[in-house]
Structure 1
């Protein structure tokens, strides 16, 4: 989504003008540094709460309960307990990109605004960053942790949160004609303004950008199943399946890996990498960063690091290894929820089939990340009542 398509008029936004004035007096701070400061500050606040990830079904249960039409009496009780726990400052229910997109599909114009109000109430306007952003953050954190040490960097769990207007990713106004210094001031002020927007205002942004097609996710399960059965004889263990899956995802992310190298080089030297060297990285068949990650997983040196990478690869590997399992389109949505929830939330409320998968002895992802996975409404009520 392009921020400059929103047709925002600064005259209509006093906060925009106020923050613009501040940034005019502090021009030395880069956009990246400004956003990082925002994220670090928000992350510190988020980590004060117990974090509860609600998957699509639970949000729908709560929506109906909030309308006074619960499917079960337990849904109404769960809704009341969640609202009270949030109001008491005990928990937070941040949303995620897959939740936001799926709920847009489920809601119509009549129910969408009330749904957004409820989500705003339970999330306090917080969302976990997109999967792509988390993958990049995790790689940079992994490299810094192994070079600078854990005491020299922020905890990873503090760096993955943002505000709901950025639920689909970060976006800024841009204008190639405007002077760079002026555009930087506008971008930072725009970030401050959007940081305060509520979830109810998001549909207006979508209307202006005309990007509702973003919510359509093309199922790739058939293609994955074809590849699985075509090469089934090559997989003789779960570890083999895991490494095959990891090689595949690292190959897809190679361009982003190269960008990370370039960004870290600039941070260390203050200089951009030369065009020739960047082109060499793009054309090179070698991937030193990917090779490092492969080796770390191969030698079992990864514990809780690179969690989005590990959870996603683990789930796909289980389907590849088990010849009787066939991947369904909805499984891909479930995987997205698991990749966000397990590493960064204290509780994961989801459906029974996904709970059974992530808690298998082979994966034990709930134990690795110390996340309690719950699939029953009564159990969810019991868990929250003990907080």
Structure 2
């Protein structure tokens, strides 16, 4: 009997020796190509985006407790389309966050297993990553007339374990040689790439119902405040600009990091601290 905390690891790929013996490029090129290849393959497929309600319908069919025959037909058709290789049902950060709120392990795991089956573990990057990529793509396109760029639709895809954003192993300062460190980093990315949603949630604590109730109260309070604000005599233009400002406020660090990247690309030397990057983002977000 396998008593390890991650029994599913025995079925995962071990590509260390392959990377050690073969030149698969530098780390950034290797990981970027993997994500672009995924995007290219997904753009050739029909993509059906199910909202939370329909994923719950799918889950109930999986658990044999659905009371609506139509839901069973929907799942049957989705499975047929998926098995034919023509269609996929990718998930987003919002679906994943909703899944984390489930406090029952049976229903949560069942939902995750059906998502894995219909999505093949393919997900859209989280909102902050999509914003960053769209910003870079837009500015690069405006400043590189005639240069062929990848379509942004191809650049927003990843796998389940990276649904909160890309995270890469750093071995800076390790005792490994450069070649060994590079092989280890690529191997870990290959491993993470193969982990599905059900395996991730198997290590994730269940949601606390008490905290959920507090979040509901906070959401109701914020909603009430929003409606009160709407009663004021603000113009549509002001309300719109306030919304834009709110969006930019949540992305100041990205704006600052991108401005620093542009500066360094154009000959600016030196670096900035996280606080300085945030301050730069504040200036750009005004």
TM-score > 0.5 by shorter chain: yes
CA distance in 2, matches of 1:128, 1:286: 27
* Counterparts of 2:54 and 2:81, CA distance in 1: 16
The equivalent residue for 1:36 is 32
Counterpart position of 1:22: 19
Normalised to the residue count of structure 2, the TM-score between the two structures is: 0.79
List alignment gaps of at least 5 residues for structure 2.
Answer: none
Residue number in structure 2 paired with 1:58: 54
**TM-score in terms of structure 1 length:** 0.60
Cross-structure match for 1:222: 221
Deviations 1:99-157 (A, max 9, x none): 12322433633344433332111101101111111111111111112122486111111
Cα shift at 1:188:
2.0
* Alpha-carbon distance change, 73 to 259 in structure 1, aligned in 2, over 3 angstroms: same
1:284 & 1:156 partners in 2: Cα distance? 26
Structure 2 CA distance, aligned partners of 1:231 and 1:43? 40
Corresponding residue to 1:146 among 142, 146, 156: 142
Q: Secondary structure at the match of 2:174?
A: coil
Q: How many residues in Structure 1 have an aligned counterpart in Structure 2?
A: 274
What's the offset of the Cα at 1:165?
Answer: 1.5
- Verify the 8 A CA contact 1:61 1:71 in the aligned structure 2: no
Secondary structure of the 2:47 match is strand
Distance 2:163 2:275 in 1: 32
Match of 1:251 among 225, 242, 249: 249
Structure with greater contact order relative to length (CA < 8 Å, sep ≥ 6): 1
Tell whether the 8 Å contact from 2:125 to 2:156 is kept in structure 1 after alignment: yes
Q: Which moved more, 1:84-93 or 1:111-120?
A: 111-120
Q: CA deviation at 1:39?
A: 1.1
Change (3 A) 1:91 1:246: same
Deviations 1:11-70 (A, max 9, x none): 967733x2454156438513x333221110000011011211111110111111223322
> Over residues 237-293 of structure 1, what are the superposed CA-to-partner deviations in whole Å (9 max), with x where a residue is unaligned?
2x4322211012213322221112223444x35x785236987654458634x47xx
Question: Structure 1 residues 150 and 212 mapped into 2: Cα distance closer, same or farther (>3 Å)?
Answer: farther
**1:83 Cα shift?**
1.1
Distance 1:8 1:179 in 2: 27
Partner of 1:96: 92
